[in-house]
Amino acid sequence: MKTLVAVKRDATIHWVGNGFPVRTLFSHQSLGQWISPFLMLDYAGPAEFAPSDEPRGVGEHPHRGFETVTIVYQGELEHHDSAGNHGKIGPGDVQWMTAASGVVHEEWHEQAFAKRGGVLEMVQLWVNLPAKDKMSPPRYQELLSQQIPVVDLDGAGTARVIAGELRGTKGPAATFTPLNVWDLRLKPGHRIELNFPAGSTTLFLVLKGKSLLNETEPIGQAELAVFDREEGSITVETQEEDSTLLVLSGEPIDEPVASHGPFVMNTQAEIHQAISDYRSGKMGHLVAPS
């Protein structure tokens, strides 16, 4: 079995804009290279929003040097960016935005969802890019629920393969480095075993329910388990309720990380250049969607 390195619990809630009450379950600042190629994950909700004529969210802001992956569990979101992409995603959908050389975007509760109100639950994952790809053109992938293949886990539940591969089934997301993003929905009172190759970062996040990892470590909602990079398996035993877990694994990017707010590069000089390029308009501007 793979060795458990750390369990992160008791993440506090803070607001991103006026639409996303989030808990940062991990970040490069706190866990460093243990989580590479991943940089950060915010878990928003579940939170009930009253009906509103004004959509809530986050206004115009830039990114450079990495990707954002937004997975919606409840509610609906709307995205608009300076590369001309405009999309709406709901439960089960995924938005994979490659900022790379630079993009300006905004994220809001989808208008109809805002007007009727309801529960919002989502995660946003930041994925690093290797130095050779940080200045590549921006890219936008909208992966609707029906495009994401589902793998049966021997009757214990299912796994949606968003990126990478599980038991011969490949996910639709195009990635720059080898990585897996699996959305597990498990029934109560079952046990599964998942295998991981040597050298891979491996993270388990529980979004719903309670589970026992490797027969010894209890883990519950909004908690993160970090494993070592040795080859081996991880077992998950679910308790008395349905469980939702997000499994992340991937090949580490063994390069320096320099970060400042919405920019993640390899050197401080590149960070200063990103700030200058954004201020001078080189990352583009938002134009109202038609």
Binding region for Fe cation: 61, 63, 105, 107
* Contact (CB, 8 A) for 46 and 39: no
Burial class (CB in 10 A: 0-12, 13-18, 19+), 81: buried
* Contact (CB, 8 A) for 104 and 60: yes
Question: What is the distance in angstroms between the CA of the first residue and the CA of the last residue of the chain?
Answer: 53
- Provide the sign of the torsion angle of the four alpha carbons 110, 116, 117, 122, taken in this order: negative
Whole-number Cα distances in Å, 98 to 65, 199, 273? 8, 25, 19
Whole-number Cα distances in Å, 50 to 19, 110, 115? 11, 14, 8
* Contact (CB, 8 A) for 274 and 57: no
Q: Which residues pair with 48 in a beta bridge?
A: 119
Which amino acid would we find at residue 244? T
| Edge-to-edge strand ranges of the sheet holding 211-213 | 191-196, 232-238, 211-213, 217-219
Q: Which residues pair with 119 in a beta bridge?
A: 48
Binding residues: 61, 63, 105, 107
The number of C-alpha atoms within 13 Å of 197 and in the hemisphere containing its C-beta is 10
